Amino acid sequence: LTSERYGVQRLPFAHVSDADLAFFEHLMPGRIVTDVDELKLFNVDWLKSVRGCSKVLLKPRTTVEVSEILRYCNEKNLAVNPQGGNTGLVGGSVPVFDEIILSTALMNQVISFDNVSENLNKYLEELDFIMPLDLGAKGSCHIGGNVATNAGGLRLLRYGSLRGTVLGLEVVLADGSLLNCLTSLRKDNTGYDLKQLFIGSEGTLGIITAVSILCPRKPKAVLQTFTTCKGMLGEILSAYEFMDSECMKLVERHLKLANPVTESPFYVLIETSGSNSAHDEEKLSHFLEQVTAADLVVEGTLASDDKKIKALWALRERITEALTCDGSVYKYDISLPVEKLYDLVTDMRTRLGRSAKNVVGYGHLGDGNLHLNITAESYSHSLLDAIEPYVYEWTSRYRGSISAEHGLGFKKKHYIHYSKPQEAVLLMQQFKAMLDPKGILNPYKMLPAKAT
Ligand code: FAD
Ligand code: MLT
Ligand code: ZN
C-alpha cells in the first residue's frame, strides 16, 4: 500500500488483520465483503473521480452492530469510512487509503410511518413579509430569546421550526470571543452547522447577539418570473429549477431527450404540490398566461399526467449524467445572491474561452444554488488552475458558499476558509476531536488537518 495518495499522507491507523476480520465475521456472519472485484464498486465514487483501496466492507443491519463496529475500530485504531448510496459528488463517500467501508446498504427498514398528519412583525408586514415564528408572547419576547429557547409557536406547522428558518447567528462565547456565523444563505454545506448548537442552548453556551432569519412572503399575489411565481404559487410551489441552453443541448445530444419548448437562453422547471390537482393546474396556467403576457417567458408547457411530468423532470435531473458523457467534468456547487447567480457562469465562460469544451449553469434557483460545471475533452491541470481558486475567490467576494449542498468531502476541504472564518474552522476541528478523539471516522475528509 502506498503511504501517499492525492498528496495526502496516510495517518498511522492500524491495518486490518486476520483477527479483525474474524471479529467482524463473528459479529455479522456473511455480511463482510473482502472480495477484491466486489469491492471495486465501493472504492470508487459516482463520478469515478477518486478511488480508494479498502480491503473490507461491512454491512451492519442494526444500530447495535454499528455501535459494536465503531467501538472495536476505535479501540484498535482502525479508520472507518461511512458510506450510504455512494452518490456523493465531493469524494467524501469512498476511502482515500484502506479505511474500512461501513455501508448502510442493509439499514433500509422503514421504522415507522405516520399517515396523519411586536415590532418585528409590524416591520415585516409593511414590507409584505411575515415572521415564520408567531408566539402569544409577541411584542414582549426577543428574537435572541426565541432562538435560545428554540421557540415553537403557532406557525410551526406551516413554516417549520427555527432550526430551519434561522439562517445565521452571531454569538459571543463564554471567553468573550465572537463567533460570526451570521450568513443569510439558504444553503451552505461548508462544514458543521455550528449555529444549531446554540439554537435551544438556553443561554448555557453563549449569548446570541444577532440573528438572520428566513421570512416567508406575506401570502398574496405579487408581480415579476421568480417573484411572480413565488407570489402566485407560493403555498403550492415545491420546486423552482433552472438550466441554461448549454445544458439543454447536452441532454439532447448525449441522452437524446427532446426539448418540448422553443429554444431559449434559459429554461425553468416549476413544480407544484398542492392538495387539489385541479386547483394547482388552474393556478399554474393562470401563472403561465401572466408571465407570457408580460414577456417574461417566451413559451411554456404544462404537464399533469405522469409520463409528461417525468419527461420534463428528466431534462433537469439528467444534466449530471449528460455532463459525464461530455468529457472530464469540473464541478462547482455554489450559493450566491440570486441576482448574481448566473454572472459567475458568463464570467467563467469568458475567462476560459476555448480551453473549456462547455461551461454550463443549472440548479436550484429557488434556493439561490448554482451548479457551475465545466467540461473538457480530457483532464488538464492548467485548466484546473484557471478555474481554481478564481471560482472560490469570486464566490467569497459575494459572500456565497463554495459548497451549497454537496458538502466538502475530500475534494473541497482545503477551500472551507473561503466560506467560513478561521475561528469557525477551529471550533469545528475541536468538536471533531471531542467526538472522535482518534479521528477514525472518515479521515482526510471535510476539515483541513489542524495546524500543529
Ligand atoms: P454517500 O455518497 O454514500 O456519502 C456521502 C457522505 O455522507 C460521505 O461523507 C459519507 O461518509 C457520509 N455518510 C453516508 N452515510 C452516512 C451515515 N449513515 N452516517 C454518517 N455518514 C454517512 N445532492 C443534493 O444536495 N441535491 C441534489 O439535488 C443532488 N442531486 C444529485 C443528483 C445526482 C445524479 C447525483 C449523483 C448526486 C446528487 N446529489 C445531490 C449528491 C448526493 O446524492 C447527495 O450528497 C446524497 O445525499 C448522498 O447520499 P448517499 O447515500 O449516496 O451518501
Ligand atoms: C443536481 O442538482 O442535479 C445535483 O446536485 C447534481 C449535480 O450538481 O450535478
Ligand atoms: Zn443540486
The CATH number assigned to the domain holding 278 equals 3.30.70.2190
> Which one is predicted more confidently, 166 or 206?
166
Same domain, 158 and 88: no
Same domain, 97 and 154: no
Q: Determine, yes or no, domain membership for 373.
A: yes
* Final residue of a structural domain among 319, 335, 354: 319
Q: Please identify, by atom number, the ligand 2 atom nearest to the C-alpha of residue 241.
A: 2
**Ligand 2 pocket, CB under 6 A:** 319-320, 333, 363, 371
Nearest ligand, CA 46: 1
| Closest C-alpha to ligand 1, atom 35 | 87
Residue 270 domain boundaries: 226-319
Give me the interface pTM, i.e. the ipTM: 0.93
| Closest C-alpha to ligand 2, atom 4 | 320
N- to C-terminal Cα separation, the chain? 26
Q: Please identify, by atom number, the ligand 2 atom nearest to the C-alpha of residue 333.
A: 8
Q: Are 444 and 410 in contact (CB under 8 A)?
A: yes
pLDDT of residue 223: 34
Same domain, 292 and 396: no
Distance, CA 318 to ligand 2 centroid (Å)? 9
Q: Determine, yes or no, domain membership for 118.
A: no
- When mean pLDDT is compared across 29-43, 206-220, 331-345, the lowest value belongs to 206-220
- When mean pLDDT is compared across 77-91, 116-130, 249-263, 318-332, the lowest value belongs to 116-130
Q: Please identify, by atom number, the ligand 2 atom nearest to the C-alpha of residue 317.
A: 3
Three-class DSSP category at 325? helix
> Which one is predicted more confidently, 139 or 395?
395
Strand 237-244 and strand 358-364: the pairing is antiparallel
Place 141 in a pLDDT band, splitting at 50, 70 and 90: low
Three-class DSSP category at 271? strand
Percentage of residues in the chain having pLDDT higher than 70:
91
Distance, CA 411 to ligand 3 centroid (Å)? 17
Q: Which phi and psi (to 5°) does residue 136 adopt?
A: -60, -25
Place 117 in a pLDDT band, splitting at 50, 70 and 90: very low
Q: Are 264 and 245 in contact (CB under 8 A)?
A: yes
Q: Are 58 and 27 in contact (CB under 8 A)?
A: no
Q: Are 367 and 404 in contact (CB under 8 A)?
A: yes
Q: Please identify, by atom number, the ligand 1 atom nearest to the C-alpha of residue 93.
A: 8
Q: Are 85 and 42 in contact (CB under 8 A)?
A: no
Which pLDDT tens digit goes with each residue over 1-45? 567 888 999 999 999 999 999 999 999 999 999 999 999 999 999
Same domain, 130 and 100: no
Element (H, E) at 248: helix 245-255
Q: Determine, yes or no, domain membership for 6.
A: yes
Instruction: Give the cell for residue 262.
Output: 422553443
**Ligand 1 pocket, CB under 6 A:** 46, 81-89, 92-93, 104, 320, 405-406, 409, 442, 445
Same domain, 291 and 336: no
Residue 408 has pLDDT above 70, yes or no: yes
- When mean pLDDT is compared across 170-174, 241-245, 436-440, the lowest value belongs to 170-174
Residue 143 has pLDDT above 90, yes or no: no
Distance, CA 46 to ligand 1 centroid (Å)? 10
Place 413 in a pLDDT band, splitting at 50, 70 and 90: very high
Same domain, 411 and 427: no
Distance, CA 370 to ligand 3 centroid (Å)? 8
Q: Are 168 and 107 in contact (CB under 8 A)?
A: no
d(CA 370, CA 362): 6
Q: What is the mean pLDDT of residues 282-295?
A: 87
Instruction: Give the cell for residue 187.
Output: 444553503
Angle at 409 between CA 407 and CA 413, to 5 degrees: 95
Percentage of residues in the chain having pLDDT higher than 90:
51
pLDDT of residue 114: 37
Q: Please identify, by atom number, the ligand 1 atom nearest to the C-alpha of residue 107.
A: 18
d(CA 366, CA 271): 11
Same domain, 433 and 344: no
Nearest ligand, CA 82: 1
pLDDT of residue 299: 87
Bridge partners of residue 292, in order along the sequence: none
pLDDT of residue 111: 43
**CA separation, residue 339 to residues 68, 344, 368, 398 (Å):** 50, 11, 9, 11
Distance, CA 112 to ligand 2 centroid (Å)? 29
Q: Please identify, by atom number, the ligand 1 atom nearest to the C-alpha of residue 82.
A: 11
Same domain, 253 and 359: no
* Final residue of a structural domain among 319, 335, 351: 319
Place 154 in a pLDDT band, splitting at 50, 70 and 90: low
| Closest C-alpha to ligand 2, atom 8 | 371
Same domain, 306 and 342: no
Taking the mean position of all CA atoms in its chain, how far away is CA 139? Answer: 36
- When mean pLDDT is compared across 22-31, 367-376, 380-389, 432-441, the lowest value belongs to 432-441
